[in-house]
Amino acid sequence: MNIELTAEQKALQQEVREYMTTVMTPELLEEMKIPEYKEGGGPEFRKQYARMGADGWIGLSWSRELGGRELSHVEQYIFTDEVVRSGFAYPFLTTEAVTPVIAANANEEVREEVVGGVRDGKVVIAIGYSEPNAGTDLASLTTKAVRDGDDWIINGQKMWTSLANFADYVWLAARTDPDPAKKHKGLTMFLVPTDIAGFSHTPVHTLGVRTNATYYSDIRLPDKYRVGEVNGGWKLITGQLNIERLSLFTHGQVDALYQGVCHWAAETPSPSGGSLIDQPWVQHNLAKVRSGLEVVKLICWKQAWAMDQGALDMADASVAKVYGSEFFVELYRLLLEVMGQAGTISADSPGAVLRGKIEFRWRVGSILTFGGGANEVQRDIIAMAGLWMPRTR
């Protein structure tokens, strides 16, 4: 039992942290003020993403055969943690969750095209799972793919297809068996190029970021873009959920917010004399954040470590998801309380603190409590897998 980073791990952390300062150029920071480009997709984002590819930073966890460095999960987490901390809109779901699945299951020609493109920082993939009537109950999705000679004809609608407005492909889950024995058995995965005829998207403006509704209208998709077995999509979807979670909750991003508020409170005078940080109520909130953050760090490390051991516990994974998502929301509130009215001022207005980042994080915070498997479902899993309690109904 030794819960600290090794010297090599610390060196990697430092290396990534330093490199990312060169990625977050003033031009990129400027570009990210435009709501359209907040989550990436602008020309400066494209430039820096491609530079990360050229410098060999993409796909570190992949096999050497694919051009990766076969990093352990712990090292991969350290990389992820630092990239998220930097604020760069790195497309983790593309690089860590979807691409390895494509590499293992796609037709050779498509594999070259997509995996190579991602490795070079030229390809971004959007996730097409959710539909207007299929959220947490994903297996009830109805987007259809029907075989027609060497092609598939795809019809349907997806919801919350983030990044689809600039992505190169959508990683699409479609129903290929309309009447399977069990509804999760009739699904197949496809890669849909976003420049294909019949694909369109409209923006959905959320509390925080822009996302999209995407439409698939009589798309004729060559069979080479099918990934994995026909009707074998479910295990490709669920197989990468844990990896996905490892990039949703990281310590660095919120630790940086906490430290930013600490500095701000130390520099900001209190009306009753001294600095804001001398006030007991401010100290109370900061200490609450600090003690909760410690667990975020430890949970993330333990998850990554357990994945390296090949022993990720099902209940533990759900614990991480529930704790992480609910604590993040609590943290935003505790830090915003310290800032008070100043916390409400948006990035471009005079008087904004920390470029309005915390208020913005709060806006997107609730996505994580229902997204990635609603927390109610996670609690069901904890009760069953962790405590052997009977299934609720």
Partner 1 sequence: MDFNIADELKSVQELARQILADFTEVEQLKQVEQQEQGFDEKLWGALADAGLLGIDIEETLGGTDLGFYALTALCEEVGRTVAPVPAIPVLVSAAGTLRRFAAAGQKENWLPGIADGSLLVTAATEEYNNDNPANPNCRAEAVEGGYALSGTKTCVPAASQSRRILVPATTGEELVVALVDPAAAGVSLSPQVVTSGETRHELHLDKVQVPDAEVVATGGKALDAMNWVQQATRTALSAMALGVCDKMMRMTGQYTSEREQFGRAIATFQAVSHRVADCYIDVECLRLVTQQAASLIDQGRPADEASTIAKIWCGDVTHRVSQASQHCHGGTGVDRDYPLHRYCLWARQIELSAGSSAQLTAQLGQAIGAAYSSP
Per the listing, tokens 């999960």 go with 73
Cα–Cα dist 325/377, whole Å: 14
Residues making contact with partner 1 (CB under 8 A)? 1-6, 9, 74, 262-263, 265-266, 275, 277-278, 280, 282-288, 290-291, 294-295, 298-299, 301-302, 305-306, 309, 315-316, 319, 322-323, 376, 379-380, 382-383, 386-393
Q: What is the nearest approach in angstroms of partner 1 to the Cβ of residue 311? A: 10
Euclidean distance between CA atoms 4 and 18, whole angstroms? 21
> Smallest distance from the beta carbon of 119 to partner 1, in angstroms?
28
Cβ atoms within 10 A of the Cβ of 122, count?
15
- Measured from the CB atom, the residue of 54 and 266 that comes closer to partner 1 is 266
Report the distance separating Cα 71 and Cα 82, nearest Å.
15
Q: How far apart are CA 180 and CA 57, in angstroms?
A: 42
- The nearest distance, CB 247 to partner 1, in angstroms, is 18
Contact 131, 220 (CB under 8 A): no
Give the active site residue among 244, 326, 330, 337: 244
Q: How far is the CB of 125 from partner 1 (least distance, A)?
A: 31
Q: Could you tell me the two tokens for 262?
A: 């600490």
Closer to partner 1 by Cβ: residue 213 or 315:
315
What Cα–Cα distance (Å) separates residue 224 from each residue in 41, 58, 102, 161, 168? 27, 25, 12, 23, 16
- The least CB distance from residue 121 to partner 1, in Å, is 29
Angle at 364 between CA 360 and CA 365, to 5 degrees: 105
**Tokens matching residue 70:** 């076969």
**Contact yes or no for 157/90 (Cβ under 8 A):** no
DSSP label of 346: -
Q: Is 127 helix (H, G, I), strand (E, B) or coil?
A: strand
Tally of CA atoms within 13 A in the half-sphere of 140 that contains its CB = 7
Q: How far is the CB of 288 from partner 1 (least distance, A)?
A: 6
Looking up tokens 């005829």 gives 197
Q: How far is the CB of 317 from partner 1 (least distance, A)?
A: 11
Strand 125-128 to 169-175 pairing = parallel
Amino acid at position 336, single letter: L
- Closer residue to partner 1 in complex, CB, 241/295: 295
- Residue 148 DSSP SS3: strand
Contacts by residues 194-198 (CB-CB < 8 Å, ≥ 24 positions apart): 194/126, 194/164, 194/167, 194/168, 194/169, 194/170, 196/221, 198/154
- Of the candidates 81, 79, 27, 29, the residue with the CA atom closest to the CA atom of residue 256: 81
Residue 294 appears among annotated catalytic residues: no
Strands 210-222 and 199-205: antiparallel
Minimal distance, residue 295 CB to partner 1, in Å: 5
Gap between the Cα atoms of 25 and 18, Å rounded: 13
Q: Whose Cβ is closer to partner 1: residue 91's or residue 365's?
A: 365
Matching residue, tokens 């916390």:
343
